[in-house]
Amino acid sequence: MSGDGFSRREITAVLTFTVLAVAIGTGSYITGLKIAGETAGGAEAVSVATGTPVNGQTLYATNCAGCHGPQAQGGVGPALTATKHWTAAAFAEAVLRGRAPDGRELAPVMPRFGETGLDGAPATDEQINAIHAYLRGL
Ligand code: HEC
């Protein structure tokens, strides 16, 4: 030992320890994130697989009936009875993007469900088709 400073060996030991500690800490953190991500992803996959079946009547009641009437007879919005003759694609275009089959841009009062979704999550074809099927059955 020379004087009261640290020896080269001591400094090297401290540096090595610090570098290892940081490396181990970072590694654990990343592994933790990965495990958390996989768990979350897994949970989501399960809930999609076991999710409640898409119900056109419920979707209609919660998203559309307020404006188009409980029996789609019309209210703030027009009656939707004529849409039973529309193709699925035309119906989806109107509901998701506010464009009627004749190319007309629907008034802004009609929500663009492609932006808002029907239940907090992005709208799916399955949901739109379920609503359309429900309307056809009225
Ligand atoms: C806040 C009120 C409101 C809600 C909620 C609403 N709509 Fe509308 N909707 C309207 C209005 C108003 C129009 C007419 C717009 C126009 O003609 O420019 C319209 C038009 C439409 C049209 C075009 C009808 C036609 O003959 O041109 C369809 C289809 C439609 N809505 C479906 C739906 C569906 C399905 C839902 C639920 C997922 C829904 N709407 C929810 C107000 C609403």
64 C-alpha vs ligand 1 centroid, how far in Å?
7
**Res. 3: pLDDT tops 80:** no
CATH of domain 56-136: 1.10.760.10
Residue whose Cα lies nearest atom 17 of ligand 1: it is 106
pTM: 0.72
Q: Please tell me the predicted confidence (pLDDT) of residue 95.
A: 98
Q: What is the pLDDT confidence band of residue 48, given thresholds at 50, 70 and 90? A: very low
- Mean pLDDT score of the chain: 83
Q: Please tell me the predicted confidence (pLDDT) of residue 8.
A: 78
Q: What residues flank ligand 1, with Cβ below 6 Å?
A: 63-64, 66-68, 76-78, 80, 82-83, 94-95, 100, 106-107, 109-111, 113, 131
Average pLDDT over residues 20-49: 53
Q: Please tell me the predicted confidence (pLDDT) of residue 37.
A: 53
Residue whose Cα lies nearest atom 41 of ligand 1: it is 64
Give the burial class of 54: count Cβ atoms within 10 A of its Cβ; 0-12 exposed, 13-18 middle, 19 or more buried. middle
Which pair of tokens denotes residue 31? 């592994």
Total residues belonging to the chain? 138
CB 1: neighbour CB atoms within 10 A?
A: 7
Percent of the chain at pLDDT above 90? Answer: 62
CA distance 82 to 78: 10
Question: How far out from the chain centre does Cα 83 lie?
Answer: 27
Q: What SS3 class is residue 51?
A: coil
Q: Please tell me the predicted confidence (pLDDT) of residue 53.
A: 85
Q: What is the dihedral of CA 102, 79, 137, 106, to 10 degrees?
A: 40
